[in-house]
Structure 1
Amino acid sequence: MSTSWLLSTPYSKLNHHFYRRLRRKHRLIYSRDLLFSGTGEQMVTTNSASSSRGAFTTLKERVIFEKEIKKSKFIAIAGHIPDEGSAQSFLLEVRDPRATHNCWAYKVGEQYRTNDDGEPSGTAGKPIHSAIASSGLDRIMVVVIRHFGGIKLGTGGLVRAYGGVAAECLRNAPTCIIKSKVPMGLEVPFELLGALYHQLQSFQAEDIKQDYDTGKDGVTMVTFKVDFDHAQGLEEAIKANCSRDIVFYKH
């Protein structure tokens, strides 16, 4: 039987218990009430073909870049955020309440958000986001702090300043590759648990859990996470060493 992807498989073909529990566990929620300091443009985009699948490149550590432009001091601070919920904490850690503006943008997969924090609309958050997008990095946030020096830069100057310092901050920053984890699950007879766990260990599966409340005698539900690029190999190994009839569920 070919691999079944949870979100594209008809409900009638899924085990009712597992479907209900996994959907509840992995339901994606976005709250418009997520609080951030400052005012300005804020955007969120969503794409079902999220780049969160597979491996992605992100920042290895927090980096800082400073530049003076017409007597205004711009300080760009960039760092890795594992998810959107971490963006607020990052902002609260690095923002300077004494600064004239704390503008920012972040990117998590296909979702992003920007804020001009009082600068003219589109002159700060968007250029910072463009620098992030051009860098090829994912799951990062950049905050650009401005201490006004008395000389106005104009809208074009602000776009160049915010986008420029964000780009320079990211250009030579240390990076690393992170492999996404795929949540998987299957129902397996008790007598095959030993062989199953041997394969899970061989492929370095994580967060392994069992649930005996399947409504079937002698059968348990096993859920786990595995590196994206190991998922197919693990599935093939389990079918070869346990049973060809095992049906896998992925999210």
Structure 2
Amino acid sequence: MLFTLPHPVHFEIEIKKSRFLACVEPITDRASALAHIAALKARHPTAAHVCWALMAGGHSAANDDGEPSGTAGRPMLEVLRHQQLEGVLASVVRYYGGVKLGAGGLVRAYTDSVARALDQAERLPLIRQQTLQCRAPYPMEGKLRRLLQAQGATLLGVQHDTDVQLDFSCAAHDSDRLIAFLNESCHGQLQWLAAN
């Protein structure tokens, strides 16, 4: 099972006079992550490196930002994979303290920074959602809204035309059961338009 984070977590560590400022936070996609990293670099203009790793939308990415290849971004990414996280960005800002750590020391520093930030993180199970659309006669709208809310579905939109169209999402693993329940509760008066 995959997990995500409800809010950012931070950790700071000093190793041989170098400061490592780690943050792991929820993020939806690569474009948002890149914008966030650019803003982070702007906030820390004197930092030696701003390394990062991303797991979002089923895609992964990592960047060493000038550290020796494979000593920062990739180890951070492995921590995210090992902890089964999705939709998260890990970033570590390094202020160089004048003492070289070597490749092994860098891998440990970046790995530990992210792992220790995650030690204090609350994890939320990531449940894949499915979007459904149905049409119903106007008199059924109120009942249908109440049924959706009672079943834990999220109403995304309502359109009024010759009848009412409701767009909603639910847990993908529960969609077949919900469709059957709504059909029975509404006495077969629903017309299903799409299932994404």
Whether the TM-score (by the shorter chain) exceeds 0.5 is yes
Give the Å deviation of 1:194: 5.1
Question: Aligned equivalents of 2:23 and 2:47: distance in 1?
Answer: 14
Stretches of structure 1 lacking an aligned partner (at least 5 in a row): 1-50, 213-217
Moved more, 101-110 or 147-156: 147-156
Higher strand share: 2
SS of 1:208 mapped into structure 2: strand
TM, length-normalised to structure 1: 0.65
Question: Percent same amino acid among aligned pairs?
Answer: 32
Residue 103 of structure 1: which of 43, 48, 51 is its match? 51
Q: Which residue of 2 aligns with 1:141?
A: 89
Contact 1:78/1:140, CA 8 A, preserved across alignment: yes
Question: Aligned equivalents of 1:67 and 1:171: distance in 2?
Answer: 14
Contact 1:206/1:226, CA 8 A, preserved across alignment: no
Residue 114 of structure 1: which of 62, 65, 71 is its match? 62
SS of 1:186 mapped into structure 2: strand
Distance 1:225 1:71, change over 3 A: same
Residue 84 of structure 1: which of 21, 27, 30 is its match? 30
Moved over 6 A (4+): none
Question: Aligned equivalents of 1:99 and 1:220: distance in 2?
Answer: 56
Distance 1:211 1:120, change over 3 A: farther
SS of 2:7 mapped into structure 1: coil
Contact 1:103/1:144, CA 8 A, preserved across alignment: yes
Residue 166 of structure 2: which of 215, 222, 231 is its match? 222
Contact 2:137/2:189, CA 8 A, preserved across alignment: no
SS of 1:142 mapped into structure 2: strand
**Aligned letter for 2:155?**
E
Contact 1:77/1:94, CA 8 A, preserved across alignment: no
Contact 1:66/1:76, CA 8 A, preserved across alignment: yes
Query: Aligned pair 1:160/2:108, yes or no?
Result: yes
Contact 2:55/2:77, CA 8 A, preserved across alignment: yes
Distance 1:178 1:93, change over 3 A: farther
Query: Aligned pair 1:58/2:4, yes or no?
Result: yes
Question: Aligned equivalents of 2:19 and 2:146: distance in 1?
Answer: 58
Question: Aligned equivalents of 2:149 and 2:114: distance in 1?
Answer: 42
Contact 1:235/1:248, CA 8 A, preserved across alignment: no
**Aligned letter for 1:203?**
Q
Query: Superposition pairs for residues 30-45 of structure 1, below 5 Å?
Result: none
Contact 1:105/1:113, CA 8 A, preserved across alignment: yes
Question: Aligned equivalents of 1:98 and 1:61: distance in 2?
Answer: 26
Contact 1:188/1:221, CA 8 A, preserved across alignment: yes
Residue 69 of structure 1: which of 15, 23, 30 is its match? 15
Q: Which residue of 2 aligns with 1:237?
A: 181
Cα shift readout 1:84-113 (whole Å, capped 9, x = no counterpart)? 343134324444221000000111142112
Distance 1:174 1:224, change over 3 A: closer
Give the Å deviation of 1:76: 1.0
Cα shift readout 1:36-78 (whole Å, capped 9, x = no counterpart)? xxxxxxxxxxxxxxx8xxxx52223322212222322222111
Cα shift readout 1:177-216 (whole Å, capped 9, x = no counterpart)? 454432111344556545533432332432132263xxxx
Question: Aligned equivalents of 1:73 and 1:199: distance in 2?
Answer: 53
Q: Which residue of 2 aligns with 1:249?
A: 194
Q: Which residue of 1 aligns with 2:147?
A: 199
TM, length-normalised to structure 2: 0.80
